[in-house]
């Protein structure tokens, strides 16, 4: 038997709406500018996740319909505010360029220009705004989000729970034969190359993936070519990448707060919210909605796992040699690197390399013991400046620079790591540098020359900067292993 509604039912709804306004601010501040339009059902779900007792009280006294109606009205109020502030792009009316903040919505409400069909709504929201302003935390709670302060503060809003390893990504493979085999292999290779970046799939280059397949499964790719299915295969691969790009975009538009709440919930509990997001991204009807929600949910979990992996430089030491290594040792040309196949490495090293290729170079015995102190960094592009001469470089370690023209054409052959084999007289060390390859290649190709940074060296080809005085290894040419 349900209790009679209390006399303060309006207060109960108002308090819930104040929390909803706070949560709206948080969602706005933790989502990309192109985040989903305000959606009452999504906000209600987030409100119940963050304030279950409040929602339970409303449910007990049959006040949820009142709350839902007010949430819809607040969405209309925000959209009217955005229109008045000219926050919409003339080229895209799907969502504002920037959502109006709480004080902007409050100012528009107080102007009296909002005239919804429900005449009680303006009065109700003026009352709610007054209550919200009485809370000292309301205007201060999310300042740190925009200020991008310390990790300690960020943990309060952005702390993400561990991913669920049981959530699997649906693969776009339907048939048997070379076409299905190649597509399945391509999907698996792309998954193994994931970095946790929010733009990994957006930066994927189909031509690079095709090159991986030609390296790894040449017989299958030749069979596709002979059957005249190359164009059809590339179309299927492109469709898969397009789907993953849209799923990635949906994840990004959900915002950090919603993503965190989704990851804290069971898969079944979040499907209704993901369906809302998927439908919004497709602007209506969605073919195979269940597969799309699985794809988005799996991608959310995969990104968390990739970030948690904390991929670091991998170092493998080996005293065994191989014919390719011996031939490189005997080739003493300065400033020359080599590209060798994984199969040319000693067995234990070959087993650790992803992909078919490895860079190699000679190094002095005295330096090979210093490899552990190399400072890994993101793959960077810059100009080496010496006596007014500018030569573009690529580097993924402070102490190792490659001339751009030498390494650039080889980049698409690598994947999650760029393996470099350092060879001294009696042993070798394989160092695998983690890279966000697709994003790096995209950034390098799109960056105008005038924005490429410079690093000056002296006549001894040494660098003097805040890290001290050091002399990087300069590789001007990359050749096939001699012999």
Interval 277-316: pLDDT, tens = 999 888 767 888 888 998 999 898 888 777 766 566 777 8
pTM listed for this prediction: 0.81
Q: Are 336 and 399 in contact (CB under 8 A)?
A: no
In the chain, what is the straight-line distance between the N-terminal and C-terminal CA atoms, in Å? 89
Distance CA(423)–CA(321), nearest Å, equals 10
Distance CA(195)–CA(109), nearest Å, equals 45
Distance CA(341)–CA(473), nearest Å, equals 22
Calculate the average pLDDT of the chain: 82
Q: Which of 101, 111, 90, 96 is nearest to 33 (CA)?
A: 96
Query: What's the pLDDT score for residue 420?
Result: 92
> 62 phi and psi, to 5 degrees?
60, 35
Query: What's the pLDDT score for residue 172?
Result: 58
Interval 232-265: pLDDT, tens = 899 989 999 999 999 999 998 888 889 989 988 9
Which of the residues in the chain have pLDDT under 50? 1-5, 91, 93, 139-162
Count the Cβ atoms, other than its own, within 10 Å of residue 167.
Answer: 16
Query: What's the pLDDT score for residue 149?
Result: 32
Sheet with strand 477-480: strands edge to edge: 314-318, 428-434, 417-423, 357-362, 336-341, 477-480
Distance CA(480)–CA(483), nearest Å, equals 9
Q: Which two tokens stand for residue 54?
A: 């409040």
- Which residues make Cβ contacts (< 8 Å) with residue 477, sequence separation at least 6? 335, 336, 337, 403, 406
Query: What's the pLDDT score for residue 107?
Result: 93
List b or e across 380-412, with b for residues whose CB sees 16 or more CB atoms inside 10 angstroms. bbbbbeeeeeeebbbbbbbbbbbbbebbbebbb
H helix intervals, 217-255: 218-226, 230-254
């Amino acid at each position: 038997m349900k209790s009679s509604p209390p006399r303060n039912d309006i207060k109960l709804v108002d308090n819930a709406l104040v929390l909803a306004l706070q949560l709206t601010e948080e969602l706005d501040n933790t989502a990309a500018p192109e985040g989903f339009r305000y959606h009452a059902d999504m906000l209600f779900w987030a409100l119940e996740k963050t304030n279950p007792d409040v929602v339970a009280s409303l449910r007990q006294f049959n006040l949820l319909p009142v709350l839902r109606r007010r949430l819809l009205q607040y969405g209309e109020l925000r959209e009217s505010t955005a229109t008045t502030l000219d926050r919409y792009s003339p080229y895209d009316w799907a969502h504002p360029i920037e959502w109006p903040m709480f004080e902007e919505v409050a100012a528009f409400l107080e102007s009296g220009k909002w005239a919804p069909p429900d005449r009680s709504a303006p009065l109700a929201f003026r009352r709610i705004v007054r209550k919200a302003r009485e809370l000292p935390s309301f205007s201060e709670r999310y300042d740190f989000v925009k200020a991008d302060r310390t990790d300690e503060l960020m943990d309060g809003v952005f702390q993400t729970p561990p991913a669920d390893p049981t959530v699997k990504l649906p693969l776009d493979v339907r048939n048997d034969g070379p076409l299905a085999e190649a597509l399945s292999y391509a999907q698996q290779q792309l998954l193994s190359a994931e970095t946790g970046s929010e733009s990994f799939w957006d930066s994927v280059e189909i031509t690079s993936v095709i090159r991986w397949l030609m390296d790894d499964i040449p017989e299958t790719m030749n069979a596709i070519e002979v059957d005249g299915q190359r164009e059809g295969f590339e179309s299927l691969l492109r469709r898969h990448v397009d789907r993953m790009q849209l799923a990635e975009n949906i994840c990004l538009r959900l915002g950090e707060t919603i993503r965190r709440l989704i990851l804290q919930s069971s898969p079944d509990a979040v499907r209704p919210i993901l369906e809302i997001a998927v439908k919004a991204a497709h602007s209506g009807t969605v073919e195979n909605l269940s597969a799309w929600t699985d794809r988005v949910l799996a991608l959310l979990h995969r990104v968390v796992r990739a970030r948690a992996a904390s991929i670091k430089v991998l170092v493998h030491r080996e005293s065994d040699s191989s014919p390719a290594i011996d031939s490189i040792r005997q080739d003493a040309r300065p400033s020359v690197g080599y590209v060798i196949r994984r199969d040319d490495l000693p067995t234990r090293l070959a087993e650790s390399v992803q992909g078919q290729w490895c860079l190699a170079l000679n190094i002095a015995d005295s330096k090979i013991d210093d490899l552990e102190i190399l400072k890994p960094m993101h793959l960077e592009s810059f100009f080496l400046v010496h006596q007014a001469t500018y030569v573009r470089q690529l580097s993924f370690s402070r102490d190792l620079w490659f001339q751009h023209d030498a390494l650039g054409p080889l980049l698409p052959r690598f994947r999650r790591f760029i393996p470099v084999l350092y060879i001294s007289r009696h042993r070798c060390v394989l160092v695998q540098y983690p890279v966000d390859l697709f994003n790096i290649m995209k950034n390098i190709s799109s960056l105008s020359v005038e924005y490429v940074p410079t690093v000056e060296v002296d006549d001894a080809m040494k660098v003097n900067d805040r890290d001290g005085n050091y002399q990087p290894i300069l590789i001007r040419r990359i050749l096939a292993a001699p012999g």
